[in-house]
Structure 1
Amino acid sequence: MRRPHRRSALLAAAILTATGATAGLGAGPAAAADCGALSYQSQAVLSGSTWTSTYGGSTVYSGTDMRAAVQAAVSALPASRTSKQNVLVRGSGSISANSRISLPSYTLIDVCGTINVTGTGSGDQAPIYSRGTHDVEVAHLTVSGAPLYGIFLRSVYNVILGQITMNLSSGLGIRIDNYGDTSVMSRNIRLDAANVSGASSHAVETYGVDGITIGTVTARNVGESGLLLNQTINATVGTVDAENAGTGTGYAAFRMANRNGRIGSSYATNVRVGTVKARGGGRGVFCVSESGGAVIDRVDIADTGNNSILVENCYNVTIAGVSGTVTGGGEVRISSRTEFAPSSDITFKNLTVTNTNIRWSPCTGTNNVVTNVTRVNSTLTWC
């Protein structure tokens, strides 16, 4: 087995230390090794135009179909296993948008190459798909083309996503939800780094997740949000870095919606974000629809086409816990719709706001505070 590159391992360890690890998952192979550096029980390897899949020295597939080769390598692992076994994919190829590679429980996949998604499809198809499973890991993955979803995970727990890169022409990058059984949240999820460009929807989206640690989401020219958390609790995010996310829309570099951060009927702080950086696009930060329980330590927002920051019907939200700058773009605003309780316990602090205004309107809600905010060519309209 090839030894991991020491510098890469140390860098990954530093990132993990800075962002924290989801309880029970540990550092994991994705955080510690370069692509192809683990030991593998099963492999799908491209030579010329032929994929050959092997398990235990036996060939389980030979042909030109990348999806069939990878699925054969995955399916060759013992169905009765009770710990992770590893699958190596070495080589690049294409699969249909109307197909998927399905990962069962106790499976790690390491894709050293690019999966290019072609054609059209419908439903929950994705080059990497897992539903109703646990102890699944995607150590490395690069996706191009036009998937419906790059990664689709439904009703899962104990999941690690390592180094994920998607250079897309449409689709949604990573979706993690609990729609298989909404009475039970997906849980214990870790995403080390997602770098997504060109998606027509969100770069990364969660819905119905309890316990997620995200290192970095880098979004470039995506149609909707960089990172969207819906009905997700106990979340820790290192950095959201978005350029032109949701241009011409109300989406944002970082968005919380649909009672995100609400535990029971309360909003104790349980969503913690290190940095949100936004350039252009729709909004910088958007909290909406009875979400809250969140602290964003640092913001760096400039030239958004919609609100730089909009907090609408949210509760117990602090921006910025440490420091932040907002330059140009739309207003920094607290707002409320009539169908929900008004925004309350919102704090804007430690900010320098330049060439855009700060406004609380309508004048509903309580304990909304502006403190230690420097305004440059900026008016303050407060209730």
Structure 2
Amino acid sequence: MKKEMFKRQFFASVLFVGLSFFAGCTSDSEETNAEAEAVAQNETYQVSTAKGGDLSGEVTGSTGAYVAKVNGVTKYTGSDYVAAIQSAINNLTSGRDTKEWVTVRVSGASGSTGGSLKYVNMASYTGLDFANNTFNANSGDALVIPVWADRKTNIEVKNLKVSGKPRYGIWFKGCTVMNISNITMNIGVPQADLGLGIRVDNSTAATSNLTISGTINITGGDNSIETYGVDGFSIGNVTSSNNAACGVLLNQSKNGTVGTVTGTNNSTTGSVTGYATFRCANNNGPNVVCAKVYSRGSGRGFFSVTGSNGCTVNTVDIANTAIQGILLQNASNTKVLAGTVSNGHPNVQHQSATNCSTKVNGQTYTAVNGTW
């Protein structure tokens, strides 16, 4: 009798434990489903609100007969190269915050300006790929700017060739997050102090985050690359030749790097021979590093002036300058770490140079004033 009661109690206990286990499993499953539902709801709330990225434009055709399309839909047909490119840009997603691209698959010319500035006006979050085609600034005046932007962000231009006599080949002012790559120019000077290759400045708003990369080869014109008031920049290797001013000119720009500046006959085609292959001016700096200056037959090789400070040039190879190979004038905390200078007039000069040093030709020069 006692054994029978024990068996009944045992089986009842097993049954109770089993039911409890089963109930626990059901509860865990329900909790898991609830968690999954909560995650799904949370993901719904976190869906991206980015606008744009779905449209792309292109410009095709032939000289005098251009076609602009966006996602295959024709937006422009006509003879104006600038208008065709502009139409493609204007018909991308309005108010986008994701970059969309226009590819220009044909070369063209600016044509007449009608007496007003004529340019392709970049929009924010826009990339412009010229696919190695040429924009010819042939207006006969100083009013053509192939690519222009004012107070825009996240803009990019690449694979562009420029010929003729532009006011500037590319001009970005008051912009942020700019990328320029693979640019070739063979340009003239439409009038004194114009005909620049690439200019980026803060004339309308604070300007920051500039990247210039790839193959940059600019022949003729005024300054090949000029910045004014840029905070944060990375300029890669630059080749500049046969122009009226500098290879690379940095004004009031800080926190940046420059690769190798290769200059031939910089500042030799105009009336002024005092510009340089690489020049820092107008309170440029601090925190600027240039990897190398290679200069042949230019006005100067490296020139730092007008309160510029905090620039380091890792090495130089400068020869046959019209005047000084290196001139540090009213500069501070500026250093040339190594290299050679030959056939300068003189090779090196310091003039009101504070905490500066020039180490070339096996010698180190640190005097505030001196000629070597």
Taking a change above 3 Å as real, the CA distance of residues 157 and 78 of structure 1, as seen in their structure-2 partners, is same
Deviation (angstroms), 1:292: 1.7
- Residue of structure 2 in register with 1:307 after alignment: 324
Report if aligned partners of 1:246, 1:281 keep a CA contact under 8 Å in 2. yes
- Residue of structure 2 in register with 1:215 after alignment: 236
Report if aligned partners of 1:220, 1:245 keep a CA contact under 8 Å in 2. yes
Q: Number of paired residues?
A: 305
Question: Using the alignment, how far apart are the partners of 2:103 and 2:258 within structure 1?
Answer: 29
- Secondary structure at 2:159 match in 1: strand
- Residue of structure 1 in register with 2:192 after alignment: none
Post-superposition Cα deviations, 1:172-209, rounded to whole Å, max 9, x if no partner, equal 1000000003xx3x10110004211011x100000000
- Secondary structure at 2:325 match in 1: strand
Post-superposition Cα deviations, 1:46-70, rounded to whole Å, max 9, x if no partner, equal 2464211101221000112111111
Deviation (angstroms), 1:86: 0.5
Q: CA RMSD in A?
A: 2.1
From 113, 135, 149, the equivalent of 1:115 is: 135
Question: Using the alignment, how far apart are the partners of 1:361 and 1:187 within structure 2?
Answer: 33
User: Normalized against structure 1, the TM-score is what?
Assistant: 0.76
Report if aligned partners of 1:40, 1:87 keep a CA contact under 8 Å in 2. no
Structure number with greater Rg is: 2
Question: Using the alignment, how far apart are the partners of 2:245 and 2:304 within structure 1?
Answer: 14
Q: How does 1:140-219 map to 2 (within 5 A)?
A: 140-170=159-189, 171-181=195-205, 184=206, 186-192=207-213, 193-199=215-221, 201-219=222-240
Deviation (angstroms), 1:330: 1.6
Give percent identity, aligned residues only.
36
Question: Using the alignment, how far apart are the partners of 1:253 and 1:204 within structure 2?
Answer: 11
- Residue of structure 2 in register with 1:345 after alignment: 355
Question: Using the alignment, how far apart are the partners of 2:293 and 2:55 within structure 1?
Answer: 37
Instruction: Kindly indicate whether residue 251 of structure 2 is the aligned counterpart of residue 230 of structure 1.
Output: yes
Report if aligned partners of 1:44, 1:89 keep a CA contact under 8 Å in 2. yes
Q: In structure 2, list runs of 5 or more residues that go unmatched.
A: 1-53, 190-194
User: Normalized against structure 2, the TM-score is what?
Assistant: 0.78
Counting strand residues as a fraction of each chain, which structure ranks higher?
1
Counting helix residues as a fraction of each chain, which structure ranks higher?
2
- Secondary structure at 1:101 match in 2: strand
Taking a change above 3 Å as real, the CA distance of residues 236 and 48 of structure 1, as seen in their structure-2 partners, is closer
Q: How does 1:221-300 map to 2 (within 5 A)?
A: 221-247=242-268, 248-262=272-286, 270-300=287-317
Post-superposition Cα deviations, 1:239-277, rounded to whole Å, max 9, x if no partner, equal 100000002511000000000014xxxxxxx11010100
- Residue of structure 2 in register with 1:15 after alignment: none
Tell which has more relative contact order, 1 or 2 (C-alpha 8 A, sep 6+). Answer: 1
Question: Using the alignment, how far apart are the partners of 2:250 and 2:135 within structure 1?
Answer: 26
